[in-house]
Amino acid sequence: MSGPAPRDRVLLNKVVSATVAVQVAIVMASLTVPVLAALIAPAIGVPAYLVGYYSALIYGFAGTSSFATPRLFRRWGGIRLHQGMLVVTAAALTALLSALPAAFIASAIVLGLAYGPMNPASTVLLTRYTPPAQRSRVFSLKQTAVPIGGTLAGLVTPLAAAALGWRGAIVVVAVICLGLSVLIQPWRAELDREVLAAAGGTASAFWLPLRLLLSNRGLRRVAGASFAFGSVQFSFTAVFPTALAQVGWTTTDAGRAMSVALVVGVVFRVIWGTLADKIGSRPILVLLGAMMSAAAFAAAFIGPGWSASAVALVAALFGLSAFCWSGIGIAEAVRQAAPPMIPEASAGIIGVTFFGALAGPTVFSTVTGLTGMLAPAFLILSALSAIGAALLFLAAKTEDRRG
């Protein structure tokens, strides 16, 4: 099958570059507080484990704001929308400098509003220039921004905090976001003109993405799995460094352990996506869900006696699964939708994923707070992963019988 035309290929490269860079910056910003929780929480006057609620607020408001993406996208264009998200993210980070509990909450809410449109906006841009047979690979390539951003958060922010203090580290990340919003400006006119012309001035009701999910059986199944997988993925990034700190790891060592998962995710995400383009996205998603379940089950038993290599192995299993599923899941959602409804389908699936990201860290922090133990929370994540994999497996079997 032939690839995109030369001009579309050039535009696709620009879209990939811009969307990956923006997502790296915003993901890094969203993980700055979880990575530096041991430093920030005492300054604010809250227990470190409450960082799960910070992440939950981000993803809860991201889930809601993602539903607005089709309307915002068709009004402003993708690049302008990405620039706006970067500026709002920088504002959310600077709110933390006051070290007030209210600012802590406000920061999470504002960051969530910026985070929500990030994925559906980039998905619509990429769909415009990516052949259907290559979407899992290209979407997975775009989604490498998540582990790259997480890796930078795990490696760079502790070093910045050691040199400049936690406030200095936050300022560094905010400046990166503002600088990137300026750097992508030269591509705005060309890329936004393309998508705005294709939109034809149409609008989208705010709740249309959710209504589409409820009315489309294929999308409902993908949404259920996305909720479960999102719960596991975002819980891991939100609480794993803090969990390791509670069993005696330093902030720097815990950040490095999390970076193992994220580096593995960067390396294998495109490989999984390429394989999904060849044999189908459903079988790959089922396999990744089973691997997530195994990783969360193993994490339930991490303790002071565990070696660094054993913890790294669990982190790598998370990276191989929890940080590799999303591009394939988005491609599967786009496959289930009619072309005019791709913005709504991507916004709906990503919104549900964010609600999973809200539920996962919230449940983790609540269960840990009530029981005083990490194991029950990790076992719940393991069960969620298994349920998500089962949903897609049963859906695939149903389609096979009908076929």
CA distance 289 to 358: 19
CATH of 6-402, one of 1.10.600.10, 1.20.1250.20, 1.10.1500.10, 3.90.1150.10: 1.20.1250.20
- Integer angstrom CA distances of residue 115 from 62, 151, 167, 312, 398: 5, 18, 21, 29, 35
CA distance 238 to 253: 16
The pLDDT value recorded for residue 1 is 40
- Integer angstrom CA distances of residue 2 from 132, 137, 281, 360: 11, 15, 21, 41
pTM over 0.85: no
With contact defined as beta carbons under 8 Å apart, do 70 and 208 qualify? yes
Chain segment 223-242, per-residue pLDDT in tens: 999 999 999 998 887 788 87
CA distance 129 to 12: 6
The pLDDT value recorded for residue 403 is 46
Chain segment 241-260, per-residue pLDDT in tens: 878 888 888 877 888 888 88
Is residue 345 very low, low, confident or very high in pLDDT (cuts 50, 70, 90)? Answer: confident
Average pLDDT on 83-108 reads 92
CA distance 131 to 12: 11
Chain segment 127-166, per-residue pLDDT in tens: 877 888 888 888 888 888 877 888 788 888 989 999 999 9
Pull the structure tokens for residue 362. 């919230």
CA distance 286 to 394: 10
The pLDDT value recorded for residue 5 is 55
With contact defined as beta carbons under 8 Å apart, do 156 and 29 qualify? no
The pLDDT value recorded for residue 203 is 52
Q: What is the DSSP letter of 61?
A: H
- Integer angstrom CA distances of residue 126 from 21, 211, 330, 334, 337: 14, 23, 11, 11, 15
Average pLDDT on 342-370 reads 85
Domain edges within the chain: 6-402
